[in-house]
Structure 1
């Protein structure tokens, strides 16, 4: 599966996982929405959750921008819009925080849900903490990847959200 990133460039270049993956030819960066090809767009504002039913697409697309500036309009580019379900960050900045994934974590989570765990492991292997993301999220990722569609993913996610709120 091709990995693409709509790159805003508004974060710390030293900590930018998308730029590192680009340097290693593991993703393609795009500086504008128009230049970004269509595919499955990982969008936290999307109405439907990513599920194995989306695996028929050949591109996974993430937006790399600061969480402080991420607005609904920033994700307005071609493709099927899908949100990632409950996952916990393993990166040093947001370790242990639900839904605060950096770009490589979002792409890796998406890849696992879409049945491409080996690809997820390859991109995460470029970060010393990368394996921790899969360890922290092993059970939910396995369960999401076993779902048939978005509604099943949301049902599984609800179980984790209930646990999180207790």
Structure 2
């Protein structure tokens, strides 16, 4: 599985899951926006289309690209990349120690794991968590959601997500 991370050097390197993924050999760290693979699947929270099983061909052929940057700078960074295949993740909850329990505040590791899981690469997703003490917490917290999203089309995932969010609002 080809995994790339464009790293903007805007975080604490000791806590950065992206850099640790690079050190563990799980992903290639890229610091030059001109070297970003344009055809890979870019995880972008501003995208209209959800990650889905429909993305398997892109993932297999070109890989997944995560961006590691400050949320405050995210829109600017996403514009720099000019990637073709941009996707948003559906509603998930952070399992990392910094943002545990917060909706949508995922680390780069969690975002890539979620992408693989949703695209039905469950074994590959779970194996990425090796080397992270809290890694399995992300799967545990989101198991039901991930199973609902896994193997579905983008439209189905958006519908499922909207039902989940509506149910949460109505409680």
- Shared fold, TM over 0.5: yes
Name the TM-score, length of structure 2 as normaliser.
0.91
- The CA distance in 2 between the partners of 1:60 and 1:67, in whole Å, is 19
CA distance in 1, matches of 2:167, 2:67: 29
Query: 1:7 maps to which residue?
Result: 7
- Alignment partner of 2:129 out of 96, 121, 124: 124
TM-score by length of 1: 0.94
Q: CA deviation at 1:32?
A: 2.1
Q: Distance in 2 between matches of 1:137 and 1:5?
A: 23
Task: Answer whether contact 2:119 2:151 (CA < 8 A) is retained.
Answer: no
Deviation at 1:80, TM superposition (A): 0.3
1:161 aligns with 165
User: Gapped runs of 5+ residues in structure 2?
Assistant: none
Name the residue aligned to 1:48: 49
CA RMSD of the aligned region, Å? 1.1
* Among 127, 135, 144, the residue aligned to 1:139: 144
Q: Is the helix fraction higher in 1 or 2?
A: 2
Residue by residue over 1:111-158, the C-alpha shift from the partner in whole angstroms, topping out at 9 and shown as x without a partner, is 1011111111111121111001001111111111131x2110000111
Give 3-state SS (helix, strand or coil) of 1:106's partner.
helix
Structure 1 runs, 4 residues or longer, greater than 3 Å off: none
Shift of 1:164: 3.0
Which SS does the other structure have where 1:104 is aligned?
Answer: helix
- Structure 1: 5+ residue runs without aligned partners? none
Mapped to 1, the partners of 2:142 and 2:23 lie a distance apart of 26
